[in-house]
Amino acid sequence: MTAGQISRREFVQLAASAIALTDAVRLTPSATAAPLPELPPGQVTQWLAAPAARRRECINRDWKFLLGDNPQAAEQSLSDGDWQVVGLPHSFSLPYFRGNDFYVGFGWYRKSIAWRSEWAGKSVSLEFEAAFQDAEVYVNGRQVGSHKGGYTSFEVDITHHLAPGENLLAVRVNNLWNPQLAPRAGDHIFDGGLYRNVWLVVTDTLRIGFQGLQVTTPRVSRRLASVAIALLIENRGGQRRHATVRSTVISPSGKEVVSAIGSIDVSAGMSTNVTHEFHIAHPELWHPDSPQLYRVVATLLEDGHPVDGDSAPLGLRCFKWTAEQGFFLNGSHVWLRGANVHQDRAGWASGGTDAGAWRDVRLIKEAGFNFIRTSHYPHSRAFMQACDYYGILVWSEMCFWGVGGFGPDGNWRASAYPVQPAHWNGFEASCLQQLQEMIAMHRNHPCIIAWSMCNEVFFTDQRVFQRMKNLLRRMVARTHKLDKTRPAGIGGAQRGGIDRLGDIAGYNGDGATLYLNPGFPSLVTEYGSVVAERPGRYSPNWGLLQSSQFAWRSGAAIWCGFDYGTWVGVTGEMGIVDYFRLPKRSWQWYRTHFAGFRRLPTSKPGKPARLRLSTDRLIIQGVCSLEDSQVVVEVLDADGQRVPAALPVELKISSGPGQFPTGRSIRFHPNSDITIADGLAAIEFRSYYGGETILQATAKGLESATLRIETHGEPAFVPGQTPLVAERAYIKHITPNQNNYATRASEAVNIALNRPTEASSSLVGHPSRLINDGSDLTWWQAQTPSSVPWCQVDLEGIHVLHRIEITVPPVPANAQGSVGSYALVVATCNDGAGWRPLGGTVRVRPGKMISLSVARGVRCRYLRVTLKSVPRQCLAGICELVVLGSD
């Protein structure tokens, strides 16, 4: 085997072992379902390691952190002795457990880096996988770089700013809402911080540029595949350089398949592009059922010696989206069974590990899904690696995002596109920049089958609606220029005619019923939206999704895969897996019906007697928190059967290194956000020191449980000498005046505008979506007015109601004589079933609007208007429903 190659066995050994589920939720395959492969211990992000000529060191451990701002924080003279000691990935909000609010402001990170003699004459850079959302980088008090955008990677060259001895690296990050920075809106948490990995990269001054290796597959069939490789070669030195470029393709079994060599000359301070093309006969194709992965290794050689190298995954597949027959992969039709996925998780917020990302992908795959929509922003490199490995097709989405009930500027409830002209150019530049960065970051992953421009950006102020559409057109054109191998999708395209602006339309919610056979490629990008606490019901969350798999539709993705943090409260509990990454029973339903596994055993009533601890990983490789362990606590009876108990349990580190998001202990309680339910609780554990950790779980009156986890790596934990992580109490963040009713009433906006709707029936040309489209000139009209028609709106979250305005159709021009008035009943509910009248019957004359004040304290998710009676000769419908409310 030649240098730079890797065998299949090594490939598996280097892949994440973080993927296995805990013993508590171990999956038992049926006779027809094949279990996913178990992955032995190994650093999950190193399964595509670069050649040895490139030194890439993770520097996640041993940072100092200050929550807040300090103008002297970048200076070496400033003492940081009272700052927190933290490790990356890190969130400003640590610890976070789905509170409705999060800290917004500044944070500083500092770390000492010692100069090494082998760096002399080399290029030294920092690679940030992401920082949310505005980062300034300093070395020894001098600013050396910056980046705006919270989900994409960036590089900072620090070569000429380092000095012999200790060097101070400082990073100032803020997550302030910025009117010119995407996203401007979104119903998620936007917690700041260095929440993904940071790498120190040392190369020769003649090097492959940052994200400078691009691999495409122009033509793929079962008989022959062509592979095109493009390399950006940089000369950061002061002399002209001559070198050889070698590109090699490695098969899934680790054998060299084909290679090419070329010579280059690069002047000082300049760069050049190199291309190679290969042909592979009888390729092993990448497919969700058999995700065969090749590997491309690029090496720069000078006088026969490697000076730099890089590598990328290679999946040989071809796909096609069609308007009439759906999606095709490698020439065969594939129905996309998908899930939307957010990245945040219990305790750690957005600062999850690479192993956590692999764990997430495995949970989705295990439930029988073959498709993920990365809602609504670019996800991590590790997440895409896991999708490549497990065979999950991906709709990778940009963070151009809209949210219903948007109001004035100032926070993430604003118009998706800026209203103020002073913000237009900056915001459009931000979208185009982050789109380009997303594509450069993930373009080599075979799992990706579409780049999505946005999500529900029709939640834009009407004054700039056309500008928003023009921006989408620019983004689609930019996507076509940057990547000719993948289409541009429009996510959440069910309003405003934006579904026609890209190559594929993704419809959310009621779009599944409103846009049947649209005449261009389409799929349902969100269905379900069912709120449920674990364990929930053993049933699918279909929502408004039709039972038929229409031939023209490419697939459908449930909202959503995992519970998530949001300022809209309980709507974050729409996952089929909870925030602690414990499956709900709806996940088990999909696993049984999609994947063909037998139904998992459930808890049984009994008397709690003892606790049990288990984990998906007994060995953590490395001390940079690339890997972690998911620790599960079970409440058992005397016979070892799990019982549906919900009682306080404390999990603590008895000895050794490591931490939970709350420090060295965490307390689960049924009445807290750190919950225990159905006899189960879980949390992710990580360590920044090597050594054995002993965990102990205790509960009053129950037999305790212990668990040992070994972390491999240096430095080793030394009892009595290694500092212990400080306890981090969980205190919900609350912004001043957030819960002031008078303040919220004065800021109330139309929270019904363009939200999903449903009706008892609809006349052709007058669908339910016209009830809240912002126009009195359009109307919903029932098809069968004699059956007490109704129309309802889903506010997509539980909101406080302040006032309701209903406008009914006017008297038809051909009406004769007196016609009377409409009789309406307004009702609310939170679950789509238990309707409660909001007062009695109200009457309104045709063509008029009635305004209803709502008693203080009324909250709901769904609001329904029923036509108890319709005036003679008038239309059985509603022109406009306005719901003024707040969070």
Residue 155 banded pLDDT, cuts 50, 70, 90: very high
Encoded amino acid at 399, one letter: C
* Residue pointed to by tokens 């897996």: 577
Q: Do domains 56-204 and 741-886 have the same CATH topology?
A: yes
One-letter identity of residue 101: D
Give me the chain's average pLDDT, please: 92
Question: Would you say residue 8 has pLDDT above 50?
Answer: no
Between strands 553-559 and 336-340, the pairing is parallel
CATH superfamily, domain 741-886, is: Galactose-binding domain-like (2.60.120.260)
Contact 138, 170 (CB under 8 A): yes
Q: In a 3-state reduction of DSSP, which class is residue 437?
A: helix
Q: What angle do CA 45, 50, 52 make, to 5 degrees?
A: 125
Note whether 268 and 164 are within 8 A (CB).
no
**pLDDT value at residue 25:** 28
Q: Which residues contact 518 (CB under 8 A, 6 or more apart)?
A: 323, 499, 505
Residue type, 835: W
Q: What pLDDT score does 819 carry?
A: 76
Start-end of H helices in 257-368 = 354-366
Give the mean model confidence (pLDDT) for residues 328-349. Answer: 98
Beta carbons of 294 and 249 less than 8 angstroms apart? yes
Question: Which of 216, 198, 152 lies closest to 437 in space, CA to CA?
Answer: 152
Integer Cα distance of 94 and 269 in angstroms? 42
Does the pLDDT of residue 726 top 60, yes or no? Answer: yes
> Which CATH number does 56-204 carry?
2.60.120.260
Q: Do residues 795 and 569 lie in contact, with contact meaning Cβ atoms separated by under 8 Å?
A: no
> Span 257-265, mean pLDDT?
96
- Residue 23, pLDDT score: 27
Closest CA to 616 of 529, 707, 527: 707
End-to-end, the C-alpha distance of the chain in Å comes to: 61
pLDDT of residue 117: 95
Name the fold adopted by 610-712.
Answer: Immunoglobulin-like (2.60.40)
Q: Does residue 715 have a cis peptide bond before it, meaning omega lies within 30 degrees of 0?
A: yes
Structure confidence at residue 771 as a pLDDT band (50, 70, 90): very high
- Cα–Cα dist 563/569, whole Å: 11
Q: Which residue has the tokens 């009621």?
A: 510
Q: Report whether pLDDT(637) > 80.
A: yes
How high is the pLDDT of residue 27?
A: 28
Interatomic CA distance for residues 310 and 582, integer angstroms: 37
d(CA 755, CA 510): 9
Identity of the amino acid at 456: E
CB 311 within 8 A of CB 49: yes
- Cα–Cα dist 149/131, whole Å: 8
Residue 128's pLDDT is: 99
Q: Is there a contact between 355 and 627 (Cβ–Cβ < 8 Å)? A: yes
Q: How far apart (Å, rounded) are the C-alpha atoms in residues 393 and 383?
A: 12
State phi, psi for 363 to the nearest 5 degrees: -60, -40
pLDDT confidence bin for 546, thresholds 50/70/90:
confident
For the chain, the domains span 56-204, 610-712, 741-886
pLDDT for the residue numbered 794: 95
> Which amino acid would we find at residue 730?
Y
Residue 784 has pLDDT above 80, yes or no: no
Q: What is the pLDDT of residue 814?
A: 77
Taking residues 825-845, report their average pLDDT: 92
What pLDDT, on the 0 to 100 scale, is given for residue 172?
A: 99
Q: To the nearest 5 percent, what fractions of the chain are helix, strand and coil?
A: 15, 40, 50
Mean pLDDT for 69-74 is 97
C-alpha–C-alpha distance, residues 177 and 189, integer Å = 12
Question: Which residues does residue 224 pair with via DSSP β-bridges, in sequence order?
Answer: 281
Give the tens place of pLDDT for each residue, 171-190. Answer: 999 999 999 999 999 999 99
Distance CA 810, CA 845 (A): 8
pLDDT at residue 741 is higher than 60? no
The three-state secondary structure class of 754 is coil
pLDDT for 150 beyond 90: yes
Identify the pLDDT of residue 623. Answer: 98
